[in-house]
Chain A
Amino acid sequence: MALVKGLKCRECGRPYPADPLHVCEYCFGPLEVDYDYDALQGRLTRKAIEAGPPSIWRYKALLPIEGEPVVGRHCGMTPLVRANNLARALGMREVYVKNDTVSHPTFSFKDRVVAVAVTKAVEFDFKVVACASTGNLANSVAAHAAEGGLPSFVFVPADLEQGKVLGTLIYNPQLVAVDGNYDEVNRLCSEIADKYGWAFVNINIRPYYAEGSKTFGYEIAEQLGWRAPHHIVVPAAGGSLVTKILKGLREFDRLGLLDGGCPTRMHVAQAEGCGPIATAIKENSEIIRPVKPKTIAKSLAIGNPADGYYAYKAVKGSGGHGEHATDEEIVEAMKLLASTEGIFAETAGGVTVAAAKRLIEQGRIPRDESLVLCITGNGLKTQEAVASSLKVRFHIKPTLRSFDEAMVSHDIDVTPK
């Protein structure tokens, strides 16, 4: 029952048919999926959504596919964790973690966008799916292509973390390591997409792919009891996720699905070594100046973000802000999230928590307002980031005496019963 009107240019508003297009031929603005919201009014209810499957497909009416999903049937509905321990550590009253570290099947939020994109690629009759990726997308495209029985080509920067390389190769795609950063990989892929006519999920079918990110916002609202939080902190790479979470919340609001409207302030989190969107927000400049990435948060290392301008608009328009995190803060924040909530996030999660901490300390996120942290990928993928700062403290002989001595020598207070 998805009611897609077609595509629309985000710059000049020119309408296009719902074809595999992504750029306006007049002003070169990016295209976005446009829906017939009036027709959905009253038809898409809380009850109808709650009766749907426990996956992103419960929101199918607001996703741009025509038939049934062909891959990723179990994607989405990840936990929204009430993070009381973390809240205490941050000096906040109400903090939630939207935990996509356990996303099915590849442990990052990219499963949401890829499930939609690969289904759409099949509907468009593409024979090959592909992507340019900083890692998580590579995992997800390779896995979903395998599930859909499609060949896949995955292009990544050659210096990617080993966990992300192995987590892609296992699905048997054609993995191409490129000597260059993500922006150079992406540029190359635009040319390859033109020449070979493959479905590059984040290039030529990007308008459809990006819609999958809305489900992150839908789930936050539904899991909060059909309300939108006061603040959401979102990590940004290309900048799409923050815009789509906000789009999702505003769609829910427009359809009358939210109690209390949509007061949410969207905040962007980026690494100090690659933070062009957060910098633009801080400088009040709607033009994003590209940078050369240098950060341990490789999944966010996009120096020339495709949706940077729109991310800027989403943040500014909602009254939010942007913050950076140093590599040291990222590692500390990963440890804080793990030690308070038992959630091992990848470096991007560290960026989110660290930036949120700064925003709270600055008073931009008031301590008595509700906050959702978007944790988008699993820490087992980026073990290198924390490996050097985590050590096994005790190495003992298999005797009680050896254990007792170790406790005493490390000054650990263990009292026998």
Chain B
Amino acid sequence: MPKRMITLIYPQALIKEPVIYRLSREFKLIPNVRRARVTEQTGEVLLELDGEESALNKGIAYLTDLGIRVEPTPEKGR
């Protein structure tokens, strides 16, 4: 299954929401948190997502619609 590496930047209002759990359950994606940083105002999660291509696209659209900023993240060097 295709994998995608993304960085999520959360607005303050969503920090307490179980967004990654819902993403996993609703779109049948396997999330793996590789790094995270959370402050009072915002949160940043570096996430590896594993799933069908169409589910990955729908899942990322779901995050964006919620108001989370999704940044593609390079996976490796040479």
Are A290's CB and B69's CB within 8 A? yes
Contact B74 A26 (CB under 8 A): no
Q: Which residues of chain A come closer than 8 Å to B77, judged between CB atoms?
A: 20-23, 193, 203-204
- Selected from B42, B73, B76, the residue in CB contact (under 8 A) with A287 is B42
Chain B residues with CB below 8 A from A304, complex form: 71
B1-49 interface with A by 8 A CB criterion: 5, 9, 34-35, 37, 39, 41-44, 46
Nearest neighbor of B40 in chain A, beta-carbon distance: A285
A28-B35 in contact (CB<8A): yes
User: Quick one: CB contact mask for B60-78 with A, threshold 8 Å, 1 for yes?
Assistant: 0000000001011111111
Task: Please report the number of residue pairs spanning A and B whose Cβ atoms sit closer than 8 angstroms.
Answer: 56
Assembly CA distance A283 to B42 (angstroms) = 11
| Closest partner residue, chain B, to A283 (CB atom) | B41
Looking at chain B's contact residues, the main secondary structure is: strand
Chain B residues near A20 (CB-CB < 8 A): 77-78
Q: Are B43 and A26 in contact (CB under 8 A)?
A: no
Partner of B78, one of A25, A26, A197, A309: A197
Whole-angstrom distance between the Cβ of A118 and the nearest chain B Cβ: 16
Residues on B with C-beta less than 8 A from A22 are: 77
Is residue A396 contacting chain B, with contact meaning CB distance below 8 A? no
Q: Is the CB of B34 within 8 A of A27?
A: yes
> Which of B35, B37, B42, B74 is close to A190, meaning CB atoms less than 8 Å apart?
B74
Select the residue from B39, B75, B77 with max chain A CB neighbours within 10 A.
Answer: B77
Main secondary structure of the interface of A (DSSP, over half): loop
A194 engages B76 (CB within 8 Å): yes
A285, B9: Cβ atoms closer than 8 Å = no
Give, as a whole number of angstroms, the nearest-CB distance from A283 to chain B. Answer: 7
Tell me which residues from 284 to 309 in chain A have a Cβ below 8 Å from any Cβ of chain B.
Answer: 285-287, 289-290, 304, 309
Chain A contacts for B34, CB-based, 8 A = 26-28
- Are A23's CB and B69's CB within 8 A? no
Determine how close the nearest CB of chain B comes to the CB of A357; give it in whole angstroms: 29
What count of chain A residues pass the 8 Å CB interface test?
25
How far is it, in angstroms, between the C-alpha of A285 and the C-alpha of B74 when the chains are bound?
24
| Residue A11 at the chain B interface, CB threshold 8 Å | yes
Known contacts A23-B74, A190-B74; decide if A287 and B46 are in contact (CB<8 Å). no
State the Cβ distance, B72 to closest chain A Cβ, in Å: 6
Residues of A within 8 A of B75 (CB): 23, 194
B69 and A289 contact, CB distance less than 8 A: yes
Do residues A286 and B76 form an inter-chain contact, with CB atoms below 8 A? no
What residues of chain B lie closer than 8 Å to A25, measured between beta carbons? 76
Q: Which residues of A contact B46 (CB under 8 A)?
A: 27-28
Bound-state Cα–Cα, A28 to B45, Å: 11
Q: Which residue of chain B has the shortest Cβ distance to A204 in the bound complex?
A: B77
Residues facing B in A26-79 (CB within 8 A) are 26-29
Q: Which residues of A contact B73 (CB under 8 A)?
A: 28
The docked-state distance in angstroms from the alpha carbon of A304 to that of B7 is 11
Given contacts A28-B34, A193-B78, A204-B78, 8 further A-B contacts (CB under 8 A): A23-B76, A23-B77, A25-B76, A27-B46, A28-B5, A285-B39, A285-B42, A289-B9
Contacts A/B (CB < 8 Å), 7 sampled: A23-B76, A25-B76, A203-B77, A204-B78, A287-B41, A290-B9, A290-B71
